[in-house]
Amino acid sequence: MTYVAEAEALDREILGVINAWHQHGTTIDDGAFNDLALRLFAHQLRYNKPYGRYCEGIGVTEPASWDAIPAVPSPAFKEAAIATFDPSSATLVFETSGTTAGTPGRHYMETPALYDAALIAAFDRFVLHDGARLRYFNLVPNPAERPASSLGYMMARVAQLRGDGRTGWYLNDDAPLFDRLQYDLREAVAHDRPVCIAATAFALVHLVDAMRRENAVLPLPNGSRIMETGGFKGRSRVIDSDELHAAIGERLGLRPENIVAEYGMTELTSQYYGSPATARKIGPPWLRARVVGPDRKTLPPGEAGALLHVDLANRSSCIAVQTEDIGAQFDDGFALLGRAADAPPRGCSLNAEELRSLTAGAR
């Protein structure tokens, strides 16, 4: 089978998994997940040259199960084109946000179909569970200015496919436009239009601070909600989530149950969601998290370690990605506990020899 035929067949199968859950609530079972993950690994081993060298370098080319598939450490996306195809033909290229100095990581996607399908299926389930048509107010990068922002692309697609026809963007070169945001929110309130504010926790802190300085109180219409994404990585000001959510209630009239926490990565195609109240994140059935120790073995529930994600929708890159986040797994999802400050967390170190095997000839 040619590369194109194999890739298209895998894409159809993955889309089938996504659509079955989205339309009918059918969840892929463990056996089918394992089978598809191993076939995706074999595909990527053949066609993703940097990943193939990495797997050969660590001596794992025939994993027995999905949880033994070698995970690429997320910094590798800065060092090589982690792709099964010629990255110059990518239809989507997302870059890491660059909150730290240096070259951004890049995620090359061969087709937008898997990203769009995974995005809408999970967003409908976790954010739009009531089928609401909302007006989207985005304190995230505008894709017109930052086309390589996966978060900007995400919210543009959501607004296009699930919005009420009007969308606002309130970052200008990363500077928040709070006056304009409040003006537009007041208009939505006047017309009783429920809204969704998509923002990082850091941006939300500054929004409520700005409203506090102006003594502004703006209760949002019934059905409104906030999608909180990201945290305070690389930021000088950090506040407790309970304090933030209390301030949101005070200024915008939203209760904690009106806030949905999203967790995503540039290196993943799919996203996790959860309630800020429980601090647990869950994903759609084609996305699984593992918490691993120094030997890259899964740790017992409740024990802290490095977060690793297996995303079947990452067909044209790498389905297993090791993060620099620390977490713990529980029966009702995983908890994000923080991020390694100065060194990679337990279980996600990439030694010099492994890095050479990954990047040799990749540039």
Number of H helices, E strands in the chain: 10, 16
Which of helix, strand or coil describes residue 187? helix
Dihedral pair phi/psi, residue 140, rounded to 5°: -135, 165
Q: Are residues 329 and 249 in the same domain?
A: no
Of 280, 307, 333, the residue that ends a domain is 280
In a domain, 100, yes or no: no
Q: Distance between alpha carbon 173 and the CA centroid of its chain, in Å?
A: 22
Q: Are residues 203 and 257 in the same domain?
A: yes
Which residue range(s) make up the domain with 243? Answer: 115-280
Q: Are residues 149 and 262 in the same domain?
A: yes
Q: Are residues 245 and 124 in the same domain?
A: yes
Q: Are residues 121 and 251 in the same domain?
A: yes
pLDDT in tens, the chain (363 residues): 999 999 999 999 999 999 999 999 999 999 999 999 999 999 999 999 999 999 999 999 999 999 999 999 999 999 999 999 999 999 999 999 755 557 899 999 999 999 999 999 999 999 999 999 999 999 999 999 999 999 999 999 999 999 999 999 999 887 899 999 999 999 999 999 999 999 998 899 999 999 999 999 999 999 999 999 875 454 445 677 889 999 999 999 999 999 999 999 999 999 999 987 677 999 999 999 999 998 889 999 999 999 999 999 999 999 999 999 999 999 999 999 987 654 333 333 343 344 445 545 443
Kind plus residue range of the DSSP H or E element containing 240: none
In a domain, 95, yes or no: no
Nearest to 315 by CA among 68, 59, 1, 18: 18
The encoded tokens of residue 348 equal: 């996600």
In sequence order, the 6+-apart residues with CB closer than 8 A to the CB of 209 are: none
Q: Are residues 128 and 235 in the same domain?
A: yes
Only one residue has tokens 């993950």, namely 37
Q: Are residues 172 and 240 in the same domain?
A: yes
Question: What's the domain count of the chain?
Answer: 2
Q: What is the pLDDT of residue 38?
A: 99
Q: What is the pLDDT of residue 278?
A: 74
Q: Are residues 139 and 257 in the same domain?
A: yes
Phi-psi region of 174 (alpha: psi -120 to 50; beta: other; left: phi over 0): left
Q: What is the pLDDT of residue 8?
A: 98
Q: Are residues 71 and 127 in the same domain?
A: no
CA atoms within 13 A on the CB side of 360: 12
Write the CATH number for 139.
Answer: 3.40.50.980
Q: What is the pLDDT of residue 49?
A: 97
Tell how strand 287-292 and strand 280-281 pair up. unpaired
Residues in the chain: 363
Q: Widest CA span of the chain, in angstroms?
A: 65
Identify any residues that bridge with 309 across adjacent strands, giving them in sequence order.
Answer: 289, 321
Cα–Cα dist 106/36, whole Å: 25
Of 253, 280, 307, the residue that ends a domain is 280
**Is 24:124 a contact under the CB 8 Å cutoff?**
no
In a domain, 101, yes or no: no
Q: What is the pLDDT of residue 341?
A: 54
Q: Are residues 275 and 144 in the same domain?
A: yes
CA atoms within 13 A on the CB side of 265: 25
Give the Å distances, CA to CA, from 293 to 69, 276, 303, 304: 15, 26, 9, 8
